[in-house]
Chains A and B, each alone.
Chain A
Amino acid sequence: MTESKKTLKITSKEVKDFFGSLRQFFVQYYKDFFNGVKTLDKGDLSIKLISVLCISVAFAFFCYLREGTGDLYMRVFIPAFFANAFVVLFGCVNKSSRFYSILTVFLVTTGFALQIFMIDVTDTKHDPVEKVEEYITFIFVGLLLSMLVMPVLAFVTAENTDTKILRYLIIGGTVLLYLILLVFGKEVNGAKAWIEVGFSIQITEITKVLAGIYFVLCLTDKNLSEKDKGLRTLIVLFIHAAFLALVNEFGTLIMIGFVYLMLKILFTKNKKLILKELLCLVVIFAVLLGVCYGFYKTAPETTVENKPTATEKVTEEVDAEEATEAEESSSQDADGSKDKKEPLTPQKLVDEALERVRTIYPKIEKRFNIFLGNGELTKDDTYQTDSVKMALHYAEWLGTEKGWFGFVPEINCDFVFVYLVARLGIVGAIMVLVVLVLLFAETFIFAARSKKPRESALAICFICFIVVQSLLCMCCNLALFPVVGLPFAFLSDGGSALCVNLMMSFFIIYFMRKECALPIESEATENV
């Protein structure tokens, strides 16, 4: 009997069982982990550690040759080495049978190098060491979070876990996070994807992962009928689409949409149903876009602050730090307390939401116009693409010497690939591209031989978030795709994305443990 025919009500026994088994999983996971440490294959670990050392030293030497100084890089690569060593250790403890961990190390190290190179580009007023320490902190926080989240992911992907409560929790959590974002979110470059809690957290990175987990749970649940799976995933996709359009985070929406399609194609047996769902999806999106267009044409414009143009923004960035300091000091009143912000009222929130809905269509239209070169485009409109094109011309086969690329906006984040090409050269870019393809292929190959379909599905979902997102980021950089603000996994600046990417990589390493792989013979027999 499928779940749809059962009651939707969750009993207290089910909840109790759910949390009981989650607790057991936690205990069991760490027990297994420490057992793994005791029974480590020292030969395997040594080889991998030497590889990590070689990669780190090679990069340090490369940086020395490029920049002419070594001390900063050595100071960076020692913690980088330990962080990477931990990734490799995790792979060995889980008896991960593949080279995934080494490839991840390569990406993390490249990210380190680029962020260090970029100090002169983006943070001229910051102490380089401070910037590097910040990056290292992100890495270690990412490692710690990954270790904490791993048991949960192991529990989620266990074949005998009841997914009903999990699915409700995920939907509830997702909506809650989006609501928090809409009310308390911080807007950066037009996208309201961050909240400030002493430090910035990119909420959409978390909701992206939650969306992936939900799709996996739904599509691999044997208790759900094919139609139910289709309906539920579609609803969740629309929840994400609606909120992400409201916060103007189209990059994340594209990635969630891509993962949805990928998992649908791979895990739905009835291919005709996929076609029907896709058709339905296209029609609904077209209708929604039409509604946005209608709203844009008919709704009156509400009062919005004048936003600076791209060129103004670049000029402003130079003085951003001084301005912030001045603002902070000026906002102190006679009592020394800071000025209070305007209170958030429901009316204000509704007005803001309506204004956001009104601007969805023109924003999409503008991105496409810039991409296609249609319509009347100002210099500000094409500033991003023009400056990226110009920065590419600095590239050599083996990279360039220290150069100023501050004229490219968001070069440390959305346009980091251009910086990679310019500084590490075409050869460096090709190496990163090869690593991404190997990561992708390796995950798929292992998934095909895995005993655990749910783990495979989540691993495929995560590898898409890492690799396909990076490839799309490259496409945006090279004007092969409209600029939608997608960061490059491990290379782009941003703590939230780095932590989430590390967590996803840890899961893939965990997924690739030897005990989960089918032996080649049995695989052959099964195929026959």
Chain B
Amino acid sequence: MFDVEFKKIGAAIVSMVVALSFVICSVCIYGTGLIPGVNPEADQARMDIAVAKRKANTVEGSFVDRFGNSITTATEKGEPAIANYPESFSPIIGYNSSRMGTDGLRNVLRSHLYDGGKDGVGATVQLTINASMQEKLYKLLDGHVGSISIINAETGEIVAMVSRGDPEIGYNINIIDDVYEKAENEDEEDKYYSDLYDTVPEFYYNRATLAQDPPGSTAKVMTATALVSNDREDLVYNDETGYYLNNTIHNFDYEIMGECDIKKGLNKSSNVYFANAGVELGGARLEKTYEKFMVGETIELDFDTLNSTFLAEDSTYSDFKIASNAYGQGDLVMAPLHVAMMMGSIMNKGEMMKPYLIEKITDDNKTVYKKDVETLSKVADKDTCKKVKDLLITNAEYYKLYDVFDKEDITIIAKTGTAELANTNLHHIYYAVGVELEGVPYGICIDRENVAGTSGELKSIAINVIDILMSETAE
């Protein structure tokens, strides 16, 4: 009945419908992620769904410390494991909550922890942490918001990392579901948990890795390294006013320090000296050294991501900006663990190792993961590091740390830091330490948030931390 043209057009239309069907089919398969490796986003989502399905029929895998001591224990299928040291490990291990899913290492390792395998029990994860040391260090925080991190600078192993995100709430993963249930069922007139947990969510925070604050004068270690690397360690600045750059930068307590060299600048933590050093070096050279310390780079760790900033986005070099960054203020922000890495790299002859927390994972009696040591960066050559290390040893002497520890037993480098917070009289304070103990270098950072005092008040904690490290290493 119809002409040839009708048939041709009809055939073309049918062909288009067939082609559209193929497109739909392909997009559908792509969207579902049924072919692994094609759509990474879908792969991840499918893994999460599979984990959620398996989780109900699996006894949660356990965490053990570097010596094999149990950190978490689970016996029931589908039930969250109980943490044996809940508060000191909570920010690292994270929750396994029926209402909020998983967080921390439990989230990162969910495919291992909740996959029953042959025995119906998830994998065993061995951490680099020393559980006994972790507990002792957590007590040193004494309810203050802050963190303490210790890394083995030779390997990158995180030996201890404690954190507290909230002064009122000690994060305890064992009771998280119970507390939220209580908060939900509270009377309107007699609220306690709901108010507490609604308004203060920061207690989840692992400050050691997530805090993004100016490191204060601890950054002077990197500026000193820049000076030495660029053969400017003989730089002297005559500080006659206690101010620099049209009175925009000043020393702590407006102290006038007179003629200042690098050693005096470090010992007395002169802002004016290091601000001038930054300007003398120039932004490009300063940034180059900071980049070697991985500042401004994103560092993917096996349990988290470390971020830091040298120059904020859309920011450009100016004398004020360079001067501020050079003494640890301005745009410069980094996490406390990064500060520990910085001190560790000076102790480790300039090699900055990638920190790691997961030593190995075993499942069904097989090792399914084993960490390899990885170098992140070479921050400076050996000679430069030796010079900076010597300077920082004089700092430790100046801080009278060698009054407590014997130079023959231990080598200590140290730098304090007090970061001023805008629009407040409070500070973030740091005590960055590097030690060499029985030939093994360690990087340590102790920080405390929102305090009225200065970094000097962390000295006693620093001494305790070194003491604990010495005794644990000896054991």
Contact = CB atoms under 8 A, between A and B. Distances in A.
Interface of A: 262, 265-266, 389-390, 392-397, 421, 426, 429-430, 433-434, 436-437, 440-441, 444, 447-453, 456, 467-468, 471, 474-475, 478, 480, 518, 526-527
Contacts of B14: 440-441, 444
Interface of B: 1-2, 4, 6-7, 9-11, 13-14, 17-18, 20-21, 23-25, 27-29, 31-34, 42, 45-46, 49
- A-B pairs, 9 with minimum CB distance: A393-B45, A395-B32, A392-B31, A444-B10, A478-B27, A441-B14, A474-B24, A448-B7, A392-B32
Contacts of A434: 21
A337 B101 CA distance: 50
B25 A433 contact: yes
Contacts of B4: 527
Given A393-B46, A394-B49, A448-B7, 9 more contacts: A266-B9, A392-B32, A426-B29, A440-B14, A440-B17, A448-B6, A448-B10, A453-B2, A475-B24
27 contacts: A266-B9, A266-B10, A389-B31, A392-B28, A392-B32, A393-B32, A393-B49, A395-B32, A395-B34, A396-B34, A426-B32, A429-B25, A433-B21, A437-B17, A441-B17, A444-B10, A444-B13, A447-B10, A448-B2, A448-B6, A450-B1, A450-B2, A452-B1, A453-B1, A456-B2, A475-B24, A478-B28
A518 B1 contact: yes
Contacts of A475: 20, 24
Nearest to A429: B28
Given A448-B2, A451-B1, A468-B17, A426 B34 contact: yes
B18 A437 contact: yes
Nearest to B45: A393
B45 to A, nearest CB: 4
A256 B1 CA distance: 26
A471 B24 contact: yes
B55 to A, nearest CB: 15
B49 A471 contact: no
A437 B21 contact: yes
A266 B25 CA distance: 28
Given A389-B31, A426-B34, A480-B27, A471 B20 contact: yes
A382 to B, nearest CB: 14
A430 B21 CA distance: 9
A497 B303 CA distance: 52
Contact of B28 (A426, A467, A526): A426
A518 to B, nearest CB: 6
Nearest to B26: A478
A349 B336 CA distance: 65
B33 A480 contact: no
Contact of A467 (B17, B32, B34): B17
Contacts of B17: 437, 440-441, 467-468, 471
Contacts of B29: 426
A266 B3 CA distance: 10
A450 B7 CA distance: 12
A390 B45 contact: yes
A449 B21 CA distance: 25
Contacts of A262: 13
Nearest to B33: A393
A441 B15 CA distance: 9
Given A393-B45, A397-B34, A440-B17, A449 B1 contact: yes
A480 B20 CA distance: 11
Contacts of A392: 28, 31-32, 42
A478 B1 contact: no
A478 B24 contact: yes
A480 B32 CA distance: 15
Nearest to B30: A478
Contacts of A468: 17
A527 B49 CA distance: 58
A478 B7 contact: no
A333 to B, nearest CB: 32
A421 B29 CA distance: 10
Contacts of A436: 21
A429 B17 CA distance: 16
B2 A480 contact: no
A503 B11 CA distance: 26
Given A262-B13, A444-B14, A421 B1 contact: no
Given A440-B14, A447-B2, A448-B6, A393 B42 contact: yes
A475 B25 CA distance: 10
Given A393-B46, A426-B29, A448-B2, A433 B34 contact: no
A265 B155 CA distance: 73
A450 B25 CA distance: 32
A431 B23 CA distance: 15
Contact of B32 (A421, A444, A474): A421
A332 B27 CA distance: 52
A433 B26 CA distance: 12
B10 A433 contact: no
B26 to A, nearest CB: 10
A352 to B, nearest CB: 38
Interface centre among B10, B29, B33, B45 (most CB of A within 10 A): B10
A456 B29 CA distance: 35
A430 B18 CA distance: 12
Contacts of B21: 433-434, 436-437, 471
A265 B45 contact: no
A471 B6 CA distance: 23
A390 B49 CA distance: 10
Contacts of A444: 10-11, 13-14
Contacts of B2: 447-448, 450, 453, 456
Contacts of A265: 9
B58 to A, nearest CB: 18
A389 B7 CA distance: 39
A515 to B, nearest CB: 13
Nearest to A442: B14
A480 B1 contact: no
Contacts of A440: 14, 17
A239 to B, nearest CB: 26
A508 to B, nearest CB: 15
Of listed B1, B17, B27, B46, residue having the most chain A CB within 10 A: B1
Nearest to A421: B28
Nearest to B22: A433
A147 B29 CA distance: 40
A450 B2 CA distance: 8
A528 to B, nearest CB: 10
Nearest to B2: A448
A428 to B, nearest CB: 11
Contacts of A433: 21, 24-25
A365 B39 CA distance: 29
A223 B37 CA distance: 61
A83 B18 CA distance: 29
B2 to A, nearest CB: 6
Most chain A CB within 10 A, of B9, B11, B32, is at B32
A526 B42 CA distance: 54
Contacts of A452: 1
A449 B34 CA distance: 42
Contacts of B42: 392-393
